[in-house]
Structure 1
Amino acid sequence: METRDVISFISKIREKVNRFLVAEMTKRGIEGIATSHGDIIYALANHSRLTMAEISKVIHKDKSTVTALVDKLVRLGYVTKERDREDTRVVYVALTPKGIELQPMFESISEELLEQFYNNITDKEKEDLLTILKKIHSNF
């Protein structure tokens, strides 16, 4: 293996993680949601409501992408959108009861993913991996 293969491995790991997440959601009857929708649901589970701009910042996606993702979640009945009464340019997003029901399933899927991801990896190796990935991330 050459050191230049690392980027290819990262890409392949990302693909496998996404496939794992989609398969696990399908097993639990959650369909029509992509992993980026899960990012929004997770963010809203940790806050009672967020503006579109806040969601954009939390999940590191541009506002137009967040708008499209949120609109689909609204159509599926997982979130609601509400305009601020004083500033109608501001839109708040919150989970519906249907969206709240996803939280325990997402937690379970996350635990299973992390268990598989870190299988045969020591705590020291986990720490080293995170340190290295943070350094690489900061290079961009």
Structure 2
Amino acid sequence: MSKTINVLNELLVDLFNDILTIEQRALSEGEFKDLSITEIHTIEAIGMYEARSMSEVAKDLEITVGTLTTAINNLVKKGYVERERLEGDRRVVLIRLTKRGKLAYRIHDKFHKDMIRETIQDLSEQEEEVLIHSLEKLNRFFKSKYNLTSKEG
């Protein structure tokens, strides 16, 4: 059991660090080198299709609207996001991706899909099911143990 714990710990830590490193490298070498990982995840939370309120996006990212405002200010300056006030209630600020923001979203989404395809390409259907089941259990454990909310998506 001790060997299993050590191996799994090493694998999880390595995977987590590697994914972050790969994401950062992909960003820094690509067309969107002006984006940080946090900014690309903010773009991801805004989504492709509909304008969303600042409070909705802040809730999804589990940050305050104040923290999101700082991030959105930077993304507006860089040309990835635009904001507008709701006609009926000028206090509500809606944000949406610009054409450039949507392109960054699509490229990041493709990166994730490619990563998953590579991960499962040589697995049997049974191995895929075991992997999914194991990751779901791990995910549920982390969410219950550390009071995390479930991300839609």
Q: TM-score, normalised by structure 1?
A: 0.80
| CA deviation after TM superposition for structure 1 residue 53, in Å | 0.5
- Whole-angstrom distance in 2 between the partners of 1:103 and 1:31: 14
1:138 maps to 2:144? yes
CA RMSD of aligned residues (A): 2.6
| CA deviation after TM superposition for structure 1 residue 44, in Å | 2.8
- Give the length in aligned residue pairs: 140
- Whole-angstrom distance in 2 between the partners of 1:67 and 1:5: 41
Percent identical pairs in the alignment equals 16
Q: TM-score, normalised by structure 2?
A: 0.74
The 5 Å alignment of 1:1-140 reads 1=3, 3=5, 10-116=12-118, 122-123=127-128, 124-140=130-146
* Counterpart contact for 2:27–2:36, Cα < 8 Å: no
Decide whether aligned partners of structure 1 residues 7 and 53 sit closer, same or farther in structure 2, where only a CA change above 3 A counts. Answer: farther
33-42 vs 118-127, which deviates more? 118-127
| CA deviation after TM superposition for structure 1 residue 133, in Å | 2.1
* Counterpart contact for 1:79–1:99, Cα < 8 Å: yes
Q: Secondary structure at the match of 1:93?
A: strand
| CA deviation after TM superposition for structure 1 residue 2, in Å | 6.9
| CA deviation after TM superposition for structure 1 residue 117, in Å | 5.2
| CA deviation after TM superposition for structure 1 residue 95, in Å | 0.8
Structure 1 alignment gaps of length 5 or more: none
Q: Quick check: which has more Rg, 1 or 2?
A: 2
Q: Secondary structure at the match of 2:95?
A: strand
Structure 2 counterpart of 1:104, which letter?
R
Structure 2 counterpart of 1:56, which letter?
A
| CA deviation after TM superposition for structure 1 residue 102, in Å | 1.9
* Counterpart contact for 1:84–1:92, Cα < 8 Å: yes
Structure 2 alignment gaps of length 5 or more: 147-153
> Which has the bigger relative contact order, CA under 8 A and spacing at least 6?
1
| CA deviation after TM superposition for structure 1 residue 96, in Å | 0.9
